[in-house]
Amino acid sequence: MMDQSIQFDLGLINRYDKAGPRYTSYPTALELHEGFGDREYRRHIAKSNAAGGPLSLYFHIPFCDTVCFYCACNKIVTKNRKHAEPYLANLCKEIAMQGDLFDSSRVVNQLHWGGGTPTFLSYEQMLTLMDVTREHFHLRNDDKGEYSIEVDPRETNGQTMKQLRELGFNRVSLGLQDFDPAVQKAVNRLQSEEQTFSVLAAARAEGFRSTNIDLIYGLPLQTVETFAKTLDKILAVAPDRFSIFNYAHMPARFKTQRQINDADMPTPDVKLAILQMVGQRLTEAGYVYIGMDHFAKPDDELAVAQREGHLYRNFQGYSTHSDCDLVGLGITSIGRVGDAYIQNVKELDEYDQLISQGKLPVFKGVELDDDDKLRRAVITQLICHFDLSFAAVEQQFGISFASYFAKELEALAPMQADGLLMLSAEGVKVLSAGRLLIRNICMVFDKYLAQKQQQFSKVI
């Protein structure tokens, strides 16, 4: 049985707490460039079709009813629901354009609506979007796919959950962040326990296979005691998964974060104490640490996939579908098709202009070279499974690991001395104390990091 425990070592965390990527991809999105456009994307789609295999679809729904001050997502805040109509019309056109390029026999095993707030849309709009998707892509009708959606409980009810289930969704992630009234007021997200738990109960009643709760630690006015109260309330209803993110306060980059009073921010010591409490409480409650802010019940598909060695990581986080090419749809969405990453344009006007011209709304991308693919495999294996076999990498890529990564292995030696990992002639095994610092271990294998490190948030 795989060891999925974590060990909280304050001294180690303080020593290693520096900026670094979250590795939802390698190379990271910072390496995408504008020299990669429509023509290059079409070439990679052709290669992808020749290879075959299932697909994953991501839809970005950028609209929000109100602004949450902590948010760093690409969003459009509006009370006017009609503002979504022209965007949805363009999104449907993009679905048709992209769908025509992919082999119609390729089954969509994974689908995700993110945002913004996907539940900003009316049921009629969501129905249209799903119908158009089904017309141009081969969606499953047996409920065996992983079809997920992010919902805001403040504008979701039992009827909404019934409708989402009828549309084919079987996984749901509920945004919450914190129940404490003072914290909610400080970040402009007022949300009651009744709203949240009624949606969770409705999801279960409608037969959603997995429920996830999103929390954030490090928000203004949070303390260990207040966050523990929030956590205890949620543990009482036992969702299948938790996503507990470290808030990265970067008001210079994200304008909405300037609404937060810097004096209200918890100290680094308080943030670490909250993280320690979270790990202890969730472990005691029977959840296992998947990695990178994610916890799940032992029988959840993520936990099972990790134990069985086929967990994967993509732009939506951890996934059980490593065999899927990811098609990004809508503004700012990022896809991975074949050996390339592709991002759509970020602004509504530019998106509208390209769609109206019948052009794919590609903004930039990057084609992976052999070294990128090798390092991606190493980083993905470490961040998903905390274990790396040199022989497996050597067999797949035809290299001598010790020779190719001589400098990297040398850089891992101090981490071994600190008890983060165990190095042997056979490979790398991340120990319990190293799991919370897995980003640091992965960073050793990142050849782009030196010139880009200051653009990332801290690892803890």
Please state the residue numbers annotated as binding site for [4Fe-4S] cluster: 64, 68, 71
Helix (H, G, I), strand (E, B) or coil at 47: helix
Angle between helices 123-136 and 84-101 (to 10 degrees): 10
Q: List the beta strands (DSSP E) in 414-453.
A: 421-423, 427-430
Furthest-apart CA pair in the chain: how many Å? 61
Helix (H, G, I), strand (E, B) or coil at 179: coil
Q: Residue 451 corresponds to which tokens in the numbers above?
A: 């010139």
Q: What are phi and psi of 398, to 5 degrees?
A: 65, 45
Give percent helix, percent strand, percent coil of the chain, each to the nearest 5. 45, 20, 35
Q: Residue 44 corresponds to which tokens in the numbers above?
A: 């990679």
Q: b/e per residue, 241-253, with b = 16+ CB within 10 A?
A: bbbbbbbbbeeee
**How far is 299 from 287, CA to CA, in rounded Å?**
9
Task: Kindly state the helix (H) or strand (E) to which residue 353 belongs, with its residue range.
Answer: helix 348-356
**Residues 318 and 311 sit within 8 Å (Cβ to Cβ):** yes
Q: Residue 269 corresponds to which tokens in the numbers above?
A: 């010591």
Q: Residue 321 corresponds to which tokens in the numbers above?
A: 């579908």
**How far is 299 from 210, CA to CA, in rounded Å?**
11
Binding-site entries: 58, 64, 68, 70-72, 115-117, 150, 177, 189, 214, 248, 334
Binding-site entries for S-adenosyl-L-methionine: 58, 70-72, 115-117, 150, 177, 189, 214, 248, 334
**How far is 173 from 118, CA to CA, in rounded Å?**
11
Angle between helices 390-397 and 370-385 (to 10 degrees): 150
For tokens 């120990």, name the residue: 431
**Residues 69 and 260 sit within 8 Å (Cβ to Cβ):** yes
Distance set, CA 320 to CA 123, 200, 376, 421, 424 (Å):
29, 23, 17, 25, 28
Asked whether the CA dihedral 306, 445, 428, 370 is positive or negative, the reply is: positive
Side-chain-side CA neighbours of 227 within 13 Å: the count stands at 27
| DSSP 8-state code for residue 157 | -
